[in-house]
Structures are given as C-alpha cells and as structure tokens.
Amino acid sequence: MWLIDQRAEQAISQARREGLFDHLSGAGRPQQLEDDSLVPAHLRAGYRLLKNAGYLPPELEARKEYLRLTDLLAATEHHTEREKLERDLRRLEILLGERFRELPVALTQRVLHVRKTSGPA
C-alpha cells in the first residue's frame, strides 16, 4: 500500500473508532463520486476544466512518478541505472512523506467540521 493510502486508512480507522462518522448526513446512501463540494465555489470551474484537460493535482503527479520509477526499477538490470532510480525513488518518498505528514490531522479536522455542520441524522 502506498504511503498516502496508509496514512489515510489510519486516519479513517481512528475517526471511525472515535465515532466521528456517526450521524453524518448521507449515511447509508451511495456517494456522489463527482462531488466537488469540498472545492471552494470560486475554484470549481477551473478545477473541472483542469481535470477534463488531463491535469493532475501535484499529489497525484507525484504518485504517478512514484509508480513510473517503481516500474522502471523492476525492469532495469544495469547496476548503475538501478542505483540512480533507487536514489530518485528515495528522494520522492522523502518529499511525499514531508508533504503528507499533516494528512491525519487535516482529515480529522474535516470530519469534525462536517459532523458539526450536519448534526445528528
């Protein structure tokens, strides 16, 4: 499992144990997968345009690069090239670790905000 996935799963599990998901509006109903309600209204049109044009947020670009480096590393037999790819992969892992260190805190704060504004179902 990828680092960001692990951190998100940990934060979700903790929030579930603490009951932060109890009584949320929409509980028991299917999610709207194209929901952009978390994007500020003044940015939605721009984000949708970028998404439709194939641009990814920096986090997903980094994940795409991580997967590309992993695939290259698996296919490379030359020792010098493997060392370079391993260095690049480690640099990217460090960058991603620093960038997403605050993810569990941000997720918990968002859940608390949603719970506070939606109230009991």
**With contact defined as beta carbons under 8 Å apart, do 104 and 14 qualify?**
yes
Q: Which of 1, 13, 20 is nearest to 115 (CA)?
A: 20
Domain boundaries, the chain: 39-121
CA dist., res. 118 & res. 121, Å (int): 8
For 102-115, the pLDDT digits (tens) are 555 554 555 455 45
Average pLDDT over residues 37-43: 81
**With contact defined as beta carbons under 8 Å apart, do 92 and 59 qualify?**
no
CA dist., res. 32 & res. 104, Å (int): 23
pLDDT confidence of residue 109: 55
> Is the pTM above the cut of 0.75?
no
Tokens (6 digits) for 25: 């509006």
